[in-house]
Structure 1
Amino acid sequence: MKTSGVFPDLNALATAPLWDPERDDTLICQQVRDETHDVKTFVFSAPEPRRFSYKPGQFLTFSLPCGPAGEEINRSYTISSAPTRPDRVAITVKRVAKGPVSNWLHDTMQPGMEVKVTGPAGEFTCADSHSGKFLFLSGGSGITPMMSMSRTLFDLGAGADVVFLHSARSPNDLIFGRELALMELAWPAFRSATICEDDTPAGRWPGLRGRLVAPMLSLIAPDFLEREVYVCGPEPYMAAVRTLLADSGFDMTCHHEESFDFATLMQGELEEAFAAPEPGEKTYKVSFTKSRRDIECGAETHILSAARAEGMRVPASCGKGLCGTCKCKLVSGTVDMKHEGGIRQREIDMGMILICCAKPTSDVVIER
């Protein structure tokens, strides 16, 4: 992209084609920003001018060479930037102890490096809501989709009424604190608050303390029963919010949540895997070349479920064909696959499948 001083060619950006998930799959890191002691934001652009079109709250799936011997690992991260600033896209990542992907990003990713991505995808967004009153509830790194939604509404100058309540472990773990404060100053219909569980060595947290409970929510958002609620965070946090809202008489049809917590998203798949096959159900042999494992899989069972039931550790995030984390090469055989956008048609044409949403229709061999 041609530049003039520090500015890119703004005319080129204004007329650039949209990012096409079926063809475009490479991003270049432009900036790495420290948000807290263990959280960083990674800003990316396309190699050639592209405008990113997505709904705030959606995610990208990254293929990163951080496995053993440089093996690629797929991992999904919610976009934290706003589609109202379409020339860049950003993710905000917390370093996880022994997490191969987050640690690789924190330790290795630098401006100028290229990464492979799939997406955007996902259904967790306020963009399709007809409500004018929102309550955003986030815990820990679950703040990222809420930040994308808030930034979008802020940039649009929309007439939305937003209450944003974030829960963090301590003041040292507050993500986007200063930006939220500035948004509150510039946007009269936007209110933000933070709850911290613990103090820091430097001093006591002067604000709300502990965990979110009904009296606290009523204090911050007295009209929360009238709002559309969006929730993201660790599963225990989201479970507590569900209980709180239900016990308060909230209309749960106005409740929306998102998480990539494996135990939650894969629960249905695991239950399916351990269910006894129906009498007379046809089974097929599934062979994994790299793992050197052969398993039996029922014709009505997803391959990932059968593999998990046999004790195989197969990377997966969403369990429903959205994120692309479990993408594998189908070496031979046939499957019935019903995905939700986590794989491109050209990848399918090349023999790739998502085993979380693929059922065998013959004996199959999979490169995994």
Structure 2
Amino acid sequence: MNAHTSFPASEFVAPLRQRQWADASPQVMLCRRVIDETHNVKTFVFSAASDRMFCFNAGQYVLLRLSIDGLEVTRPYSVASPPTRPLDLQITVKRTPGGLVSNWLHDNLRSGDEIRIEGPLGSFKLDGFASAKLLFLAGGSGITPLMSMVRMLTDRAFDLDLRLIYSVRSPRDIIFRSELDALAARFPNLGVTFLCSKGGPSRTGPSGRIDGSMLLRLVPDLAKRAVYTCGPEPYMTALRDGFDEVGVKPLAYYEESFGGYPSGVAPDDFAISSFVHFAKSGLEHRCAPGETLLDAARKCGVYVPTACQQGVCGTCRIAKLSGEVAMCDLGGLTSEEKSAGYILACCSRAQGTVSVDL
């Protein structure tokens, strides 16, 4: 009599696939745990209320749909957990002074609460390797999608040469520090550098802001690496300027940024007389200085689907028929979509008279 009974793998795989959560429709999630990461950062751990597994690419984000004081709001947050751990989903949120959603999450969301989450979304993802040498560059909260990548790579023990340079204001602002230290000690092919713009009496290691000379000093083989980077726009601008400064191009370059107007664009650039014509609706609206096309559409009663309202997610993509706009997008459109004449209503402002396909 056989002591062991074998079962076809398909009997296990098929049910798991049926339970996967991989479409962009909103799902009810249950908050399982809240973790204090730093003095102003918390991680929220979710599981699917419908008992599904999470299927996404490391680097992608989700949309949180919330009702705060009667106001329906949506915000994008990168997934910090890796796809190799599909039973929960984690987002890591920094409290922003005056921030509606981040403050609400920190002050109100507790274990056992339900919340609607939509995703996964985003084209910033690690689903292949352009090189056996990788360089991750993170600024502040930009560590979150890169942490998903680091966790996935170490979970699967990939034989890659990986360097992570994490720029923060001070040592107390380093998110995931103990985990990153432990991973670097466990995996000799993972090098982690914390770059603090402000040091302290007990601070060891490099200090200062990221620039070209700092990059070359920390990563001499920069030209042989594929770069993945995420951070606020000033940080991203400093990185781009740094690469130009030293005249070094990495083998590949992928970025995700958030917050603020792009470099060189000022609010005064929008202070011109402008009109938007909604072609399908037959309506025309005179725009106030700085008013976005999304604002104009709402005032006219023209529906535009929207989510992040920061030029990131691409939900409010519309076709521009004529005219010029100043668009402050943060990666919500591909180069092909821009070439085809698409713009994002949430971060586009008419320059003169503009006609859109709405």
TM-score, L = length of structure 2: 0.75
- SS of 1:134's partner is strand
Q: What's the CA shift for 1:72?
A: 1.6
- SS of 1:31's partner is strand
Pair 1:193 & 2:193 matched: yes
| Matched letter for residue 28 of structure 1 | L
Q: What's the CA shift for 1:132?
A: 1.4
Q: What's the CA shift for 1:177?
A: 0.8
- SS of 2:223's partner is helix
Q: What's the CA shift for 1:211?
A: 0.9
Q: What's the CA shift for 1:309?
A: 12
- SS of 1:209's partner is coil
Pair 1:48 & 2:50 matched: yes
| Matched letter for residue 44 of structure 2 | F
1:145 is matched with which residue?
145
1:19 is matched with which residue?
21
| Deviations, residues 224-276 of structure 1 (Å, cap 9, x unaligned) | 111011111111111111111122222267222111224239x79x9799696
1:304 is matched with which residue?
294
Could you tell me how far apart the structure 1 residues matched to 2:299 and 2:229 are? 31
Pair 1:319 & 2:317 matched: no
- SS of 2:143's partner is helix
C-alpha contact 1:79 1:89 (8 A) present in aligned 2: yes
1:120 is matched with which residue?
120
2:255 is matched with which residue?
257
TM-score, L = length of structure 1: 0.73
C-alpha contact 2:22 2:120 (8 A) present in aligned 1: no
- SS of 1:264's partner is coil
- Structure 1 segments of 4 or more deviating over 4 A? 10-16, 270-278, 280-286, 305-310, 354-362
C-alpha contact 1:260 1:317 (8 A) present in aligned 2: no
Could you tell me how far apart the structure 2 residues matched to 1:275 and 1:127 are? 45
Could you tell me how far apart the structure 1 residues matched to 2:54 and 2:278 are? 46
Could you tell me how far apart the structure 2 residues matched to 1:304 and 1:281 are? 12
* Alignment length (residue pairs): 312
| Matched letter for residue 125 of structure 1 | K
1:332 is matched with which residue?
none
Report the more deviating stretch, 24-33 or 164-173: 24-33
C-alpha contact 1:59 1:79 (8 A) present in aligned 2: yes
| Deviations, residues 97-144 of structure 1 (Å, cap 9, x unaligned) | 010100000000101111112111111123233321111111111111
1:273–1:150 CA distance, 2 compared to 1 (3 A):
farther
1:365 is matched with which residue?
none
Report the more deviating stretch, 101-110 or 221-230: 221-230
C-alpha contact 1:229 1:256 (8 A) present in aligned 2: yes
1:31 is matched with which residue?
33
1:196–1:123 CA distance, 2 compared to 1 (3 A):
same
Q: What's the CA shift for 1:356?
A: 4.2
Report the more deviating stretch, 80-89 or 245-254: 245-254
1:212-291 alignment, distance < 5 Å: 212-251=210-249, 254-264=252-262
Could you tell me how far apart the structure 2 residues matched to 1:76 and 1:44 are? 15
Aligned-pair identity (%): 37
Could you tell me how far apart the structure 2 residues matched to 1:218 and 1:161 are? 17
Could you tell me how far apart the structure 1 residues matched to 2:220 and 2:76 are? 35
| Matched letter for residue 258 of structure 2 | F
- SS of 2:20's partner is coil
1:308–1:121 CA distance, 2 compared to 1 (3 A):
same
C-alpha contact 1:13 1:50 (8 A) present in aligned 2: no
1:12–1:46 CA distance, 2 compared to 1 (3 A):
farther
Pair 1:295 & 2:293 matched: no
C-alpha contact 2:230 2:236 (8 A) present in aligned 1: yes
Pair 1:172 & 2:162 matched: no
| Matched letter for residue 86 of structure 1 | P
1:60 is matched with which residue?
62
Could you tell me how far apart the structure 2 residues matched to 1:174 and 1:320 are? 25
1:74-113 alignment, distance < 5 Å: 74-113=74-113
C-alpha contact 2:278 2:356 (8 A) present in aligned 1: no
Could you tell me how far apart the structure 1 residues matched to 2:259 and 2:163 are? 25
1:133 is matched with which residue?
133
Q: What's the CA shift for 1:171?
A: 1.0
Could you tell me how far apart the structure 1 residues matched to 2:250 and 2:274 are? 33
Show structure 2 runs of 5+ residues with no match.
1-11, 301-305, 321-331, 333-343, 349-354
- SS of 1:233's partner is strand
| Deviations, residues 151-177 of structure 1 (Å, cap 9, x unaligned) | 111111111211000011111111111
1:211 is matched with which residue?
209
C-alpha contact 2:310 2:347 (8 A) present in aligned 1: no
Could you tell me how far apart the structure 2 residues matched to 1:360 and 1:206 are? 55
- SS of 2:111's partner is coil
C-alpha contact 1:274 1:309 (8 A) present in aligned 2: no
1:231–1:355 CA distance, 2 compared to 1 (3 A):
same
